[in-house]
């Protein structure tokens, strides 16, 4: 990054009073699949789960208003949209008579010039002047060695029209195993809902992208300030006190920053999530079918390595569960299929595997898993709807 201060759009949700799923799918793009359950009170739902960290959901079919459609798109999707595409979608929503229900704007201090702990100390010292009615600090640590895996400060509540999260994005990305974790720092993330989300969306649809970050900083400054004052001072004195030097420098830096796209590198966890959310139901159908079964599924998986492209090979190189084909003893698959021959024994595979041209084949491993808190639990993963 050429700038230490950047803006990304990290969530977009909207409701259309008169639309249909085909139109939404055409505008938003991507491969949507029918979900097995409803979504946010809508009995029918569809899911967009590209093999990245993002996820989208769409709901419709409410008996009281069958033409209404609601869409949620997480940061993994919208943060990679160019400004032109984001503006086009926003303008389309408003032209269709729709409105935004949530919009997250993430201001990143990529050099971590102001640490989360410094912000917390200012709050504890009564130097925070804000409209928020509540404040909460959460920390996450590894059970194994006690290492801090995340720290997040919350201003406001999820039910309010504005909530601010301040957290160490670098720590969060590192705890998730992201290779690009070092490009992050401390994130100041505004979660806007209802009227405030709609107003912000209308501004972004009208303003040139070069003015977006200055506009978002004005929202931040309108919601919170850090001033050289005390908790005991009168309200008027607190609001007129001079800004703390670090806060002035930080917000000036943000205002001079730029809008950027976030392209998270794909990992095997992204692929697993995509399979689980989009493909798993149909895979289950194949396994249950007498003319297919899990033996057929395993054979198809092995055969598909012949169709790998560069992006598949890049993922394979980073996956410890992929091994050279010559290292696996070829054994015929039996009726037990995937359960008996791969997942349990971890040594049998299709006899054809020894002759496949692809450089790798799948091999499963049994791993011990641990759970680490990131200290960023309320809307913090950007990918859970």
Burial of 97 (0-12, 13-18, 19+ CB in 10 A): exposed
Query: Could you give the angle at the alpha carbon of 53 between the alpha carbons of 50 and 55, nearest 5°?
Result: 55
- pLDDT score recorded for residue 350: 34
- Give the whole-angstrom CA distance, residue 225 versus residue 243: 7
Which tens digit of pLDDT belongs to each residue from 199-241? 999 999 999 999 999 999 999 999 999 999 999 999 999 999 9
Which residues have a Cβ under 8 Å from the Cβ of 53 and sit 6 or more positions away?
Answer: 76, 264, 270, 273, 382, 383
How many other C-beta atoms lie within 10 A of the C-beta of residue 191?
24
How many other C-beta atoms lie within 10 A of the C-beta of residue 234?
9
Which tens digit of pLDDT belongs to each residue from 33-86? 999 999 999 999 999 986 567 899 999 999 999 999 999 999 989 999 999 999
Of 11, 102, 74, give the one whose Cα is nearest residue 270.
74
- Give the whole-angstrom CA distance, residue 236 versus residue 29: 50
Q: How many alpha carbons fall within 13 Å on the CB side of residue 228?
A: 7
Q: What is the mean pLDDT of residues 273-287?
A: 75
Q: What is the DSSP letter of 340?
A: I
User: Which helix (H) or strand (E) segment is 139 a member of?
Assistant: strand 135-141
Which residues have a Cβ under 8 Å from the Cβ of 139 and sit 6 or more positions away?
Answer: 148, 150, 151, 152, 375
- pLDDT score recorded for residue 296: 84
Phi, psi of 121 (to 5 degrees): -65, -35
Helices (H) and strands (E) in the chain, counts: 14, 15
- pLDDT score recorded for residue 297: 83
**178 three-class SS:** coil
- pLDDT score recorded for residue 318: 56
More confident residue, 345 or 97: 97
How many other C-beta atoms lie within 10 A of the C-beta of residue 214?
14
Q: What is the mean pLDDT of residues 105-119?
A: 96
- Give the whole-angstrom CA distance, residue 75 versus residue 10: 4
Cβ distance 66 to 43 under 8 Å? no
Q: What is the DSSP letter of 98?
A: -
- Give the whole-angstrom CA distance, residue 265 versus residue 314: 10
- pLDDT score recorded for residue 28: 95
């Amino acid at each position: 990054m050429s700038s230490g201060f950047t803006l990304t759009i990290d969530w977009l949700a909207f409701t259309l009073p008169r639309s249909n799923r085909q139109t939404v799918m055409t505008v938003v793009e991507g491969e949507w699949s029918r979900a097995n359950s409803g979504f946010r009170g809508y009995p029918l739902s569809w899911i967009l789960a590209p093999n990245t960290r993002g996820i989208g959901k769409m709901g419709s079919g409410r008996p009281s208003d069958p033409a209404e459609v609601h869409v949620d798109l997480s940061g993994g999707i919208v943060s990679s949209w160019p400004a032109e595409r984001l503006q086009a979608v926003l303008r389309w929503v408003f032209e269709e008579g729709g409105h935004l229900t949530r919009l997250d704007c993430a201001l990143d201090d990529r050099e971590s010039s102001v640490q989360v702990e410094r912000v917390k100390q200012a709050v504890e010292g009564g130097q925070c002047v804000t409209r928020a009615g509540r404040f909460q600090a959460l920390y996450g640590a590894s059970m194994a060695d006690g290492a801090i895996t995340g720290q997040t400060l919350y201003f406001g509540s999820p039910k309010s029209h504005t909530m601010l999260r301040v957290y160490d994005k670098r720590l969060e990305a590192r705890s998730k195993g992201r290779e690009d974790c070092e490009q992050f720092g401390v994130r100041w993330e505004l979660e806007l809902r209802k009227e405030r989300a709609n107003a912000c969306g209308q501004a972004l649809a009208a303003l040139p992208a070069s003015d977006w970050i200055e506009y978002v900083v004005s929202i931040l400054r309108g919601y919170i300030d850090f001033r050289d004052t005390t908790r005991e001072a009168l309200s008027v004195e607190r609001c007129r006190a001079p800004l703390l030097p670090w806060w002035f420098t930080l917000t000036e830096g943000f205002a001079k920053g730029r809008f950027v796209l976030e392209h998270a590198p794909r990992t095997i966890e992204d692929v697993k999530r995509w399979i689980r959310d989009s493909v798993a139901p149909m895979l289950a159908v194949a396994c249950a079918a007498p003319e297919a079964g899990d033996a057929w599924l395993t054979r198809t998986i092995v055969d598909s390595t012949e169709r790998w492209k560069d992006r598949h090979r890049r993922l394979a190189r980073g996956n410890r569960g992929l091994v050279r084909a010559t290292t696996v003893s070829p054994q015929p698959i039996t009726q037990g299929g995937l359960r008996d021959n791969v997942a349990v024994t971890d040594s049998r595979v299709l006899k054809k595997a020894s002759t496949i041209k692809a450089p790798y084949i799948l091999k499963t491993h049994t791993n011990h898993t641990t759970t680490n808190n990131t200290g960023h639990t309320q809307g913090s993963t950007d990918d859970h709807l």
